[in-house]
Structure 1
Amino acid sequence: MRKSIVYTFVACLLLAAMPYSVTADASEDIPTNAEATGVHDSLVAALAHADLVATLQGDGPFTVFAPTDQAFTDAGIDLDSFDTPEENATLVDILLYHVYSGNVSSSEVTDGLSVEMVNGDVASFTVVDGVVKIGEATVTTADVNASNGIIHVIDKVLMPPADDPFDGIDCAATIGLTTDGYGFTPSVVTIEPGQTVCWSWADASMAHNVKQVDGFQSSTYVAGGVTSGAPAQTVAFHHTFTENQTFYYACEPHVSMKMHGEIIVGDGGSQSTSSDKDSEDAPGFVASSMILAMLGAVLVMVRRSNQ
């Protein structure tokens, strides 16, 4: 009796550990099959909210990577939060990133394969020890056939890659933040007139900005000068420099902590750069200046004594 109970308990554990399987009616379309699985209620609701059900009931063929209800929960997607046209457009973009126009069966997936999804973004596959992943999601059940395509069940919601904020812009240099968040890197950049510098950081721990100052490590801002705007944790800003100059800037919230940078354009214009400033402050420069001053004074005294 005890052995029977133990065997039953072990069998239950094994069944719980096994991935669930999804069956489908190959004569029904993709949304109908998804609705019947019992583990894709969130996906079906999202498709209805985004007005995509009719699209996926079309002739196709489509390959749909279908996140489970648990995947939607883990992603924190709440359909009630998608109520403006912009938010609904975001939801459509997310859902169409799970759809490929055409049939892709598991036998066609190879490690490193990339495909363009219906939303226009590219998704990539990895295959390691027989485990297939698309992006960060694992395919838990493959090749569920429907009348207008194939469903692959996945355990995570795929998020489209962020748009490149500098798409179409030729950045001669891109400046970010140091690891501690209290500096620009690189802090000094040299470019030619006509070139563009880009500043970029995302989800920083503190808010930062770019604001022009009137000199090396100055805290005086230039009225009407170049600025990225209000300090923010995510910034994508660019500026094209058309003349020889040395452009000095600071982070407004951290100017007292010497969070500065400079852009040397061409010959740097008439302004001295930080390297010039450093050389002027160097002991050798100061000593040489003192010696020259003393020699000048001696020459003046000699001339006076000879008169």
Structure 2
Amino acid sequence: MKIFTSIFLLLSTVVPSVLSQSIIDLAAADGKYGTLLNAVTNTPGVLDAIARSFPVTIFAPTNDAFAAIASTVSQLETSALATVLAGHVVQGVFTAQDFIHMGCVELTTLAGDHLRVLYQDGSVLVNESRVIQPNVAGDGGIIHGIDKVILPGTFRRCPRKKGGKRSGSSSSGSSGSKSGKRRLMQQHE
């Protein structure tokens, strides 16, 4: 999968954008991410910061995820909202299969905060959110739809492996069973 992603990214930079739509266009066409797109495009500097960081992985809360915390979001000042939004984006392209393979990884967001992405019991979890729509790939990176807005203070480190080492991006193994991995990939194909 990594080879395919690398070839796709290389081709998308060499060949005109006939190959695919931008990740922003794909999210808009999906219909589940309107609240996120509205916030990103109407919060000064956020869309520019994301575009300057391409390719990126975006953990995109659905409209329902934003609706669940609408009162909290409405009380945020512009700079705090920008930080929350940037806290859903990391540089680089990470597929669901990458996360399954890594087991648990800690990533730094564009806001400078950390996210824990953990494969557990057939699901990919991002802090307290669950990936419900993985691998929406287009020009500029990849989007994974999530069921909750990621808020500051929800980061927890990856669990320690036997021997006292933390699992992370250098980990070659993954947690969970092979059948759980198949179930996740089938669920989202």
Q: Smaller-chain TM-score range? A: 0.5 to 0.7
- Give distance in 2, aligned partners of 1:136 and 1:26: 34
Instruction: Give the one of 89, 109, 122 matched to 2:79.
Output: 89
Give CA-to-partner distance per residue, 1:69-96, whole Å, 9 cap, x none: 00000122576544xxxx1110011001
Question: How many angstroms does 1:28 deviate by?
Answer: 2.1
Asked if 2 retains the 8 angstrom alpha-carbon contact of 1:30 and 1:57, the reply is: no
Question: Identity of counterpart residues, as a percentage?
Answer: 28
Backbone CA RMSD of aligned residues = 2.1
- Distance in structure 1 (CA, Å) of the matches to 2:19 and 2:85: 22
Superposition pairs for residues 1-307 of structure 1, below 5 Å? 27-51=20-44, 52-58=46-52, 60-77=54-71, 81-82=75-76, 87-109=77-99, 110-161=102-153
Q: Which runs of 5+ in 2 are unaligned?
A: 1-17, 155-189
> Normalized per residue, which structure has more helix?
2
Given residue 106 of structure 2, which amino acid in structure 1 is its aligned partner?
S
Structure whose CA Rg is larger: 1
CA shift in 2, pair 1:108/1:34, >3 Å: same
Bigger mean CA deviation after superposition, 108-117 or 97-106: 108-117
Structure 1 residues 43 and 104 mapped into 2: Cα distance closer, same or farther (>3 Å)?
same
Instruction: Give secondary structure in 1 for the equivalent of 2:153.
Output: coil
**TM-score if structure 1 supplies the norm length?**
0.41
**Corresponding residue SS for 1:39:** coil
Instruction: Go from structure 1 to structure 2 and tell me whether the alpha carbon gap of 1:61 and 1:78 turns closer, same or farther (over 3 Å shift).
Output: same
2 CA distance for matches of 1:81 and 1:55?
23
Q: 1:101-136: CA deviations, max 9, x gaps?
A: 111111211333111111111110221222110011
What CA distance in whole angstroms lies between the structure 1 residues aligned with 2:108 and 2:49?
18
The residue aligned with 1:278 is: none
Q: Deviations over 1:158-189 (max 9, x none)?
A: 00228xxxxxxxxxxxxxxxxxxxxxxxxxxx
* SS of corresponding position for 1:54: helix
Q: Distance in 2 between matches of 1:146 and 1:59?
A: 15
TM-score by length of 2: 0.64
Aligned length: 134
Structure 1 unmatched runs, 5+: 1-24, 163-307
